Structure 1
């Protein structure tokens, strides 16, 4: 059976419950409602059911082929500009509007999570570049690569400055939520055209070999392993909030023991979910702090 995507007016059928509707109605995870709807509509799409099982094994095979070729191809034969233009072009013409909405949200969320940690440790971070893409065209400015660099640079600079100051991670007396946007971001994911049929997870799997091809082997390895740093940021947030819940909310863990790059596509999906949930958790805490009753 094909379940409907429009969760807002769909009825619960006890004899054949829609699993995506059940997850949409479930409120156990602190996730923005529009983002949750967009993610689950993609999971419930024909694209994911029909194309993903075909594209995923082919994409992983291509990663192996590319990495073998990288043994003989000079590292200078790479182009972040071509990669980002190709991603932008594909998202604009073939990927669903809901998926593009989630992608644009992700970079805004990442910027806010880093700023929240910096604000509440009292450390000024100078090595990162805030990413606030509002439309798909903004992604052409090396956004994906800068996002990965920001993660590593933030961790390195933050911990070096804490060490130099003889300090440890500790919770502030009052949490500063200024970095966390309460509701929706000012973003335009583009139009839902007749050719925009690819869901987010299928698009991620399809783009992963392109990452391997158009980035150097070193850059691809670094980008892939950055996904496991979700646990690191969750630990920071848990310490600042004096609440272990944040650590339990993330799935990408153990960055010191990296997974194979063949799993990068799946872990990228988890990374997006982890970021949404951490941001949703902080948004809920901000709302509670503003309404203590």
Structure 2
């Protein structure tokens, strides 16, 4: 039974309504149905209900301890290669199939959103490094780090070209959706051993201090500050679309006000959801444009 069928077949008790069923049935937020079901089922797991409240305080305490440690030895034990092998092992061994599915989707969708923005700003030529993993193996190849670098480099290169050419991002009458996949993202089946029990939020909270341990202090701060570029990407997309409808759910706000690293795990979850919502909106607009083109022809 698929995650979507799990909610579709869930009985509705009027005296004890399921909160996750209510959110799944609600269509006010643009969200891929398969991803929404996977995420909400993951949220309703015992891991998130009982394990997260216990592990989150320890994970955040470790962030504080490591921050103090990095002040003394800022580059000790730093290795992106080792970091990503640890992350790959953790995802393969402990993280739930739904959570792994959502993580890989994030890299895939993030690359497509940046491609959409580039394709709809006339006159700019930006080299892209799209990340489209469909299985866990590519995690070993610095996937998380490259994802952050791609985001920063895109914002810098786009705005450098706009400044040099004296142009700006404006609404496009005919949108170019060639970078947006409207069909199912071809992600392979994730490991389903008995050890793969950890939900997405708990996994991210646990992985955050690991991320901090194996990166330099500068690299970790850069990674956490990248989360606040959500608003930047949302504004760019809304300018191109010509509307900021349903882009108001971005919670990682003003990029000029950097936050501490303490709640990086929670903000990373919000970052993933913002990407899902924006991509779902672009898919919706793509299908609408295709339908209008078919009618007019």
Q: Which position in structure 1 is the counterpart of 2:116?
A: 116
2:270 match:
270
Q: TM-score with structure 2 length normalisation?
A: 0.94
After superposition, the C-alpha distances for 1:93-112 in whole angstroms (9 at most, x for unaligned) are 11110111101100000000
Q: How far 1:56 moved relative to its partner?
A: 0.6
Large movers: runs of 4+ above 3 Å:
none
Q: Which runs of 5+ in 1 are unaligned?
A: none
Distance 1:120 1:174 in 2: 9
Aligned to 2:184: 184
> What is the aligned residue count?
288
Q: Is the 8 A contact 1:231 1:247 kept in 2?
A: no
Does the 8 Å contact 2:24/2:36 carry over to 1? yes
Q: CA deviation at 1:134?
A: 1.2
Gaps of at least 5 residues in structure 2 are none
1:262 is paired with a residue whose SS is coil
| Distance apart, 1:172 and its partner CA | 2.4
Answer with 248-257 or 265-274: which moved more.
248-257
Show CA shifts across 1:2-53 (max 9, x none).
xxx9212111111000000110111111100010001001110000001000
1:218 aligns with 2:218: yes
| RMSD, aligned CA | 1.2
After TM superposition, the structure 1 = structure 2 runs for residues 155-166 of structure 1, keeping only pairs within 5 Å, are 155-166=155-166
Distance 1:157 1:191 in 2: 38
CA drift at 1:192: 1.1
For residues 161-212 of structure 1, give each alpha carbon's deviation from its aligned partner in whole angstroms, at most 9, with x where no partner exists: 0110110111223110111100211111422111110000000000000011
The Cα shift of 1:265 comes to 0.3
Q: Does the 8 Å CA contact 2:47/2:202 hold for their aligned counterparts?
A: yes
Alignment match, 2:126:
125
SS of alignment partner, residue 282 of structure 2: helix
Written as runs of structure 1 = structure 2, the 5 A alignment for 1:1-293 is 6-75=6-75, 77-122=77-122, 123-126=124-127, 128-292=128-292
